[in-house]
Amino acid sequence: MFKRKRLLLLCLSLALVLPPLHAAPRRPNILLILADDLGWSDTTLHGTTKLYETPNLERLARRGMTFNRAYAASPLCSPTRASILTGLNPARVGITAPVCHTKTVRLKAAVREKAPPQAKALICDSVTRFSTNHFTLPKALKKAGYVTGHFGKWHLGPAPWSPLEHGFDVDVPHWPGPGPAGSFVAPWKFPNFKERKPGEHIEDRMGDEAVAFMEQHRDEPFYLNYWQFSVHAPFNAKQEYIERHRKRIDPKDPQRSPTYAAMVQSLDDNIGKMLDALDRLGIADNTIVIFYSDNGGNMYNEVDGTTPTSNAPLRGGKGNLWEGGVRVPAIFAWNGRIQAASRSDAMIQSTDLFPTLIELLDLPKPRGTHFDGRSIVPALEGRPFDRGPIFTFFPHQVRVPDNLPPAVSAHVGDWKLVRQFHKGEKGAHLYNLFNLRDDIGETNDLASVQPERVKRLDALIENFLEDAAAVVPRPNPDYRPAGQAQLQAGVAAIRNCDLRIEKGLLLITGKGPDPHLSLTPDKPIPAGRLVFVLEMKTSVNSGAQFFWQEKGSRPAFHRSRRIDFKPRTERAFDTRQIPFETRQPAVNFRLDPFPGKGEAVIRAARVESADGRTLYEWKF
């Protein structure tokens, strides 16, 4: 009898500590870290930088697989973010530009009706709000029993298009803007989210908030979006970090901004904070960690007297379809499932994250859901993986170095084709073809010597655009070649105006809102205190505006004061002298003669020195 009781007690005790054999294991947690504007060469993962230090990214890489050919779905942030959440290409979603913080609510993409006469294509207007009709990754995971939290940047629309309407239980700091409100370093300007102490760094705070979420939900499966504000503008950082990196600057290195290096350090610090928390909570082995960036590095703003960063050896950067704009750092880690310290040359895209997680978690694909992305599980398991082509659709033009007109690209194996919409002769497209295996810097355009390959890849692009029902640029019906749009050297209609010259006078007819023209000297005008002299008469009350552009400066144009002209019917002209000062040689001028429709006549336009010497005069 005693032996029976002891055996019964032993069985009961074992039942309390061991799960039943048929019990399903708890689903893994998901930690998705998305950097903002972090370029392929902004980390130590690829051996392309001497300045930036990212030991925690290296630590994460030692836990999983680093991808050498990971691509964002867009060279700008909001489209890539939507692609991650839906598994859809931006061409299908309609969000193709980062305009979701603007007041305009546009739920369907459209082609603009007008373009400057020198533009060959009518560009597209992006959707400005992320529709709640999309079936998103957080919605799918909530359905599977996950608790979901979003921390950091969103930039897909304010409420009712915020993370809380897209499947997230928590959203901190619940901010729709394109970057941190006001500054990375407190005081911030978030309406309902305040710093804990003076000088607090927003990335440190977001890291703490994300860790608190992990601690609260350590005993249940969670999906944590930690979408960093770093390293997007505004460009500021912890002063002690800036001073540390200032001592390490090589003025000959294209990466030479101590402020940007300090921003990269804060980004990396908080990746380390995530890994520390996973280890401390004992959940690292049961957490899938993904690190990605939303587009390439910023190489056109100015900080510390230079550009924020360089994407070399890649061409271009944020805002264009060259490799520097879309190739990004990426790491996938899951202990026991993804080989530690491994690398892959497989080509992947941000659209692939949703279908990959569906397969990793062994979840059924939601009925009726379409993915443009592909599951990359074979690559994660070290097996051969051919994803097929990836398409990047960017029907916009951004004022960046080495920019492109509205374009779309296709990557197929080692090959990349760029289609520039209607940039060729008589409305035809213009093409660039590169072999990235031999030419990672896209310096050798092979389009003219491989026309058949261009034709094959372009057919793939056309099929993709048709399948996605993409709203694409159209030829500009008002396009005029340079010789027509430009009446003479340095005088050109830019927007909503017609120009003609008669008897030494420049006649301007405004046809719509904000008409303006450019006046370009044949050589730069030396920097200094200058005066723009304008002799003009108008048919309407004119709040004219004058702008100038300096060599290599940002913003593209600097604005002077308003210039008032009264309507005149007689032959007399009004003369206005507009003083301005340049730090770099002036290379271009813009004149907005009146805000809307009207007529104006210019008799003289010239630039003088402060002492009255004529430096340049346009002859009509």
Q: Is the peptide bond before 231 cis (omega within 30 degrees of 0)?
A: yes
Instruction: Name the token pair of 256.
Output: 């030479």
Angstrom CA distances, 532 to 275, 557, 604, stand at 59, 15, 10
- Phi-psi domain of 372 (left: phi exceeds 0; alpha: psi -120 through 50; beta: other): alpha
Based on the number of CB atoms within 10 Å of its own CB, is 282 exposed (0-12), middle (13-18) or buried (19 or more)? Answer: exposed
SS3 label, residue 147: strand
For 27, how many CA atoms within 13 A lie in the half-sphere containing its CB?
Answer: 21
Q: Which of 77, 100, 124, 497 is catalytic?
A: 77
Q: Facing residues of 392 across strands?
A: 409
Q: Which residue has 């608190």 as its token pair?
A: 212
Q: Pick from 380, 365, 372: which is nearest to 335 by CA? A: 380
CB neighbour list of residue 270: distance below 8 Å, 6 or more residues apart? 203, 204, 206, 207, 226, 228
Q: Are 492 and 517 in contact (CB under 8 A)?
A: yes
- Would you say the C-alpha torsion 257, 259, 265, 268 has a positive or negative sign? negative
Please give the Cα distance from 591 to 574 (Å, whole number): 16
DSSP one-letter code for 525: B
Catalytic residue among 100, 124, 150, 155: 155
Rounded Cα–Cα distance for residues 506 and 528 (Å): 28
Quick check: is 46 catalytic? no
Q: Are 181 and 256 in contact (CB under 8 A)?
A: no
Whether 174 is catalytic is no
Residues involved in catalysis = 77, 155
